[in-house]
Amino acid sequence: MCLLLGPNGVGKTLLLKRLQNYASKNSFTEMEDVPATIPTVGTNLANININKRKELTVRELGGTMAPIWPSYFSDASIIIFVIDASNRVQISAACIELLSVLSAKPLQQASVLILLNKIDMPRTMKLGELKYLLRLEDLQRTAPQPITVLETSARNGQGLSEVVRWLAENTKGSNNGS
């Protein structure tokens, strides 16, 4: 099971829809229509075909549910934590939530993918600035989990092929990612 986490408005729902659409096309194109989304109040559950032999169950948890995220941790072997790279106001709160997730005992063996989303926005922070503000290099060095950081745009598909590749490499088993 993969948990898709992050603060409100970071693009988790759009990312999930894009990953679901990827299975049928095996690519992301900029010209593709952007699926309509509404903020997730509870959870979204989706199966994503990573490749012909692997399917991964992804549970998106709304940002407003952060206080009860830990009740879902015991089933997770993969964590995708999404951060809005264009929202300077939200960075410190995102960092606190990320630290809480990384320090949770049930997730000590989980593989973690941090997505710096919305890199297509006009006021997106540079990768170096984000790494500094979030102390990503310190996190990668000290956290018990393997952590990968990717820049993405769920809107135009940039970086999403790398997300699918990472999921394929980090999904255990051959039929589902549970």
Residue 110: CATH number of its domain? 3.40.50.300
pLDDT at position 42 is 81
Full strand arrangement of the beta sheet holding 2-5:
43-49, 55-61, 2-5, 78-84, 111-117, 147-151
Q: Is the pLDDT of residue 31 over 50?
A: no
Q: Is the pLDDT of residue 63 over 50?
A: yes
Both tokens assigned to 38: 């509404």
Is 98 domain-assigned?
yes
Is 84 domain-assigned?
yes
CB neighbour burial string for 88-106, b if at least 16 within 10 angstroms, e if fewer:
eebbeebbebbeebbebee
User: Between 11 and 21, where is the model more confident?
Assistant: 11
Q: Is 85 helix (H, G, I), strand (E, B) or coil?
A: coil
pLDDT at position 54 is 83
Banded pLDDT at 21 (limits 50, 70, 90): confident
Q: Is 38 helix (H, G, I), strand (E, B) or coil?
A: coil
**Whether pTM exceeds 0.85:** yes
Nearest to 77 by CA among 57, 94, 50, 98: 57
Q: How far apart are CA 47 and CA 176, in angstroms?
A: 9
Banded pLDDT at 162 (limits 50, 70, 90): very high
Give the number of domains in the chain: 1
Tens of pLDDT along 33-60? Answer: 766 777 777 888 999 988 777 889 999 9
Is 95 domain-assigned?
yes
Residue 77 structural domain: 2-170
- Angle at which helix 12-25 crosses helix 160-170, to 10 degrees, equals 80
Q: Is the pLDDT of residue 14 over 70?
A: yes
pLDDT at position 27 is 57
User: Between 112 and 34, where is the model more confident?
Assistant: 112
Neighbour tally for 153: CB within 10 Å: 24
Per cent of the chain over pLDDT 70 is 89
Is 176 domain-assigned?
no
pLDDT at position 40 is 77
User: Average pLDDT of 101-115?
Assistant: 97
Averaged confidence pLDDT in the chain: 88
Q: Is 171 helix (H, G, I), strand (E, B) or coil?
A: coil
